Structure 1
Amino acid sequence: MSETAIKTIRRATWVGSIVNIALAGVKISVGKLTGSQALVADGIHSLSDLVTDTAILIGSRYWTAPADKEHPYGHGRFETLTNIFIGVLLALVGIGIGWDALSAIGHEATNSPGMLAFIAAVASIVAKEVLYRWTVVQAKRINSRSLHANAWHHRSDALSSLPVAVAVVANYVAPGLHYLDQIAALLVTAMILKAAFDILWPAIQELTDAEADSDIDVKIQQYAEEVPQIKEVHAIRNRRTGSTILLDFHMLVDPDMSVDKAHAISENFKRYILAQLDEVVDVIIHIEPYTCAERVVNPCCEDKKCDDTNQH
């Protein structure tokens, strides 16, 4: 990972931490002042975002490190573990909000928080939504899955402030409708759990070495067709490690070609692939002779007519 990407991750995380501390202080203070338990709980949720910020700041020190003897494939899986941590924490936050909403059903509100609580909740929604969008832009720019996951944690904080705002408005518009706050909170829970799943599932797929991108197979075949010396490519495999992809495949060349020339072709082809596919950071190419025993895409047979048909 480039130095620019590392600085972007840490800058975005520090900005998020500062905003979280400020919002937590405002929401807890206003919640205490207005008697809004929901706003106090929302402030504590903002503090929980600091946990994921800390996880990224610590984790990025490891997953951005170059490959070494102990980790010859690099340290990308540390980013995967960070994503799992964020996804689990996000799921727990969603479950907590849902549990509080279900527990509150049937209990009438004991206080009217007032407009100050509403202003604090709306300010939180706006600030965290802006932070979410900005963080997503930074994550896409450097292709950081962990930064994108943390962006969703920012949005969960914005969503968790929504029931507080709804409760205040409901108190003014329809004091008799005591369940609007709980219904809004349950909707928020569903959205947060969906975001947690979207973060966790790719990470789980990565840990089980699932294919990272099926489109890569097609692209490699297309690139190979542009090189006359490459007769065939097959056994294309790719897997993700953090925000990067590792790729390997078999490349068939003329059996009479020298080892030096075949190696030069494979190295040039590797450099071309790395230049075309941003996520791919390493390519292993297994060179084979273009013979009947090795051909897969265009198999040949003993029958001359059959062989001629395959070649056409």
Structure 2
Amino acid sequence: MSDTPVKLIQRVTWIGAIANVALALLKITVGKLTGSQALIADGVHSFSDLVTDTAILIGSRYWTAPADKEHPYGHGRFETLTNIFIGVLLAIVGIGIGWNSIDSIGQESTTTPGMLAFWAAIASILVKEVLYRWTVIQSKKINSRALYANAWHHRSDALSSLPVAIAVSANYFVPDLYYLDQIAALLVTAMILKAAFEILWPAIVEITEAEADSEIEAKIQHYAKQDSDIREVHAIRSRRTGSIILLDFHLLVDPVMSVDKAHTITENFKSHILKQIDEVVDVIIHVEPYTCAERLINPCCGGDECHDEM
């Protein structure tokens, strides 16, 4: 029996959290043993991932809850708020790494960490990259943007370990190449900030009630043309709440059609949309007569044509 969305989210997040704790302890311990300040800082960064793990574990209980009287459109915005939190925290981490790199440019390291620090950094990169790819796959199964955002937090940890590995190996073999640490860290900062923007921007767009999907209107019009009983569809509006989309529009039918038949056509069309577009979970359809007063896509020109439509 497959997991429910909330169980899948929590199982994936718990696995990631356990890995974060193990890697953080490994990097801090090895960093102290080898004298690698960069590895110690990277271990502290791994502990920061626990903050987003906690946000996912708590938030998923709310955004997966069904609609109720207080939240008739569901609780999807809790996922949006979680995405904003993760995006902001990811941006702070990126800025912190970049600031430390800029501040230390030109400063020669006073210690030469052992290769044990290098292998600890490599282990972190491999584990976190595997976690990133696995979490992305799981997020796509249930279309969870928050889980996808947390996947990118895993990758940010892998990316932050990369300059550590480069710096440790460079310092070990060629002590004069200490500046590679700052250069690699700045590149990592750019990648982390890009990921933060890609998480934050859709959430901000959603909060401002922007159109959920620019392709939805074309899809609805395409489906409508396949049904000969539907004369016109217009005033299509969509909005996203978390990982789901809510949709409403006007549907025009023959003005002499019975209410019962118009209702059947509407319900069949609604079912078709819900089946074809996975993210859409609710559709509100306003039925109207296909008359000169209501039609918009192919308006009446006046004269005999208007009389024919009445």
Same fold (TM > 0.5): yes
Give the length in aligned residue pairs. 308
Residues 266/33 of structure 1: CA separation in 2 closer, same or farther (3 Å cut): same
- Give CA deviations for 1:184-242 in whole Å, capped at 9, x if unaligned: 00000000000000000000000001111111111111111111111100011111100
Number of the residue aligned with 1:162: 162
Residues 3/247 of structure 1: CA separation in 2 closer, same or farther (3 Å cut): farther
- Give CA deviations for 1:238-297 in whole Å, capped at 9, x if unaligned: 111000000000000111112222112111111111011100000000110000010011
Alignment of 1:33-182 (within 5 A): 33-182=33-182
When structure 1 is superposed on structure 2, of 93-102 and 4-13 the one drifting more is: 4-13
Deviation of 1:74 (Å):
0.4
Number of the residue aligned with 1:186: 186
- Give CA deviations for 1:49-96 in whole Å, capped at 9, x if unaligned: 011000000000000001111111100000000000000000000001
Deviation of 1:174 (Å):
2.6
Number of the residue aligned with 2:247: 247
* Cα distance in 1 between the residues matched to 2:176 and 2:46: 30
Number of the residue aligned with 2:281: 281
When structure 1 is superposed on structure 2, of 257-266 and 279-288 the one drifting more is: 257-266
The answer to whether the 8 A contact 1:300-1:307 is kept is no
Q: Which runs of 5+ in 2 are unaligned?
A: none
* Cα distance in 1 between the residues matched to 2:307 and 2:142: 48
When structure 1 is superposed on structure 2, of 100-109 and 181-190 the one drifting more is: 100-109
Number of the residue aligned with 1:218: 218
| Percent identity for Structure 1 against Structure 2 | 76
The answer to whether the 8 A contact 1:163-1:185 is kept is yes
Deviation of 1:106 (Å):
2.2
Number of the residue aligned with 2:233: 233
Q: RMSD across aligned C-alpha pairs, in angstroms?
A: 1.6
3-state SS in 2 of match to 1:273: helix
TM-score (normalizing by structure 1): 0.96
TM-score (normalizing by structure 2): 0.96
Residues 60/172 of structure 1: CA separation in 2 closer, same or farther (3 Å cut): same
* Cα distance in 1 between the residues matched to 2:280 and 2:110: 57
* Cα distance in 1 between the residues matched to 2:307 and 2:121: 73
Number of the residue aligned with 1:263: 263
* Cα distance in 2 between the residues matched to 1:15 and 1:122: 20
* Cα distance in 2 between the residues matched to 1:176 and 1:118: 17
Deviation of 1:163 (Å):
1.1
Residues 299/38 of structure 1: CA separation in 2 closer, same or farther (3 Å cut): same
